[in-house]
């Protein structure tokens, strides 16, 4: 089973920054969309953002647009999520995921591969 491995989570004060990474040991995910999702306690897992294989196109949830930036290094291969101006409502477990390119970029059920998640906690 393919495993995606997230890292970089932690505790940060509101207004601070964190950078999450997602590695894919032994797999290039050529032609795949890579996405970030998050799940807060008692809530559904929600879309955060995604990036196409080429890296030329990204999509973000309105709640993070302008604060979060997704990038990928296909040579590594590694996916990144730079999170700036963090807010307490960003507190959640963050997951990276992969799906073949196509429709449903914001649909978590379209993603085939998932990491184990990394906790992000933003204090007020």
pLDDT in tens, 67-84: 999 999 888 889 999 999
User: What CA–CA distances, in Å, run from 95 to 60, 76, 92, 124?
Assistant: 15, 19, 9, 23
Assess whether pLDDT exceeds 70 at residue 1. no
Residue 15 near residue 26 (C-beta atoms within 8 A): no
Rounded distance, CA 51 to CA 71, Å?
7
- Report the SS3 class of residue 42: coil
* pLDDT above 90 as % of the chain: 80
Q: What is the mean pLDDT of the chain?
A: 94
Query: Residue 96: what pLDDT?
Result: 97
Which backbone phi and psi does 109 adopt, to 5 degrees?
A: -75, -15
Rounded mean pLDDT, 34-44: 97
Beta-bridged to residue 118, according to DSSP, are: 94
Better-predicted residue by pLDDT, 47 or 72:
47
Neighbours of 29 (CB within 10 A): 19
Query: Residue 63: what pLDDT?
Result: 98
pLDDT single digits (tens) 7-28: 999 999 999 999 999 998 888 7
Rounded distance, CA 6 to CA 20, Å?
7
């Amino acid at each position: 089973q393919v495993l995606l491995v997230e890292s970089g989570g932690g505790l940060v004060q509101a207004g601070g920054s964190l950078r999450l990474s997602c590695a894919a040991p032994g797999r290039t995910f050529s032609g795949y969309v890579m996405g970030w999702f998050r799940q807060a306690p008692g809530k559904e897992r929600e879309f955060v953002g995604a990036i196409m294989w080429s890296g030329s196109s990204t999509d973000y949830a309105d709640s993070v647009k302008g604060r979060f930036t997704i990038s990928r290094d296909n040579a590594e291969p590694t996916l990144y999520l730079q999170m700036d101006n963090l807010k307490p409502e960003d507190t959640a477990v963050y997951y990276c995921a992969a799906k073949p390119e196509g429709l449903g970029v914001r649909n978590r059920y379209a993603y085939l591969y998932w990491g184990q998640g990394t906790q992000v906690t933003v204090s007020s």
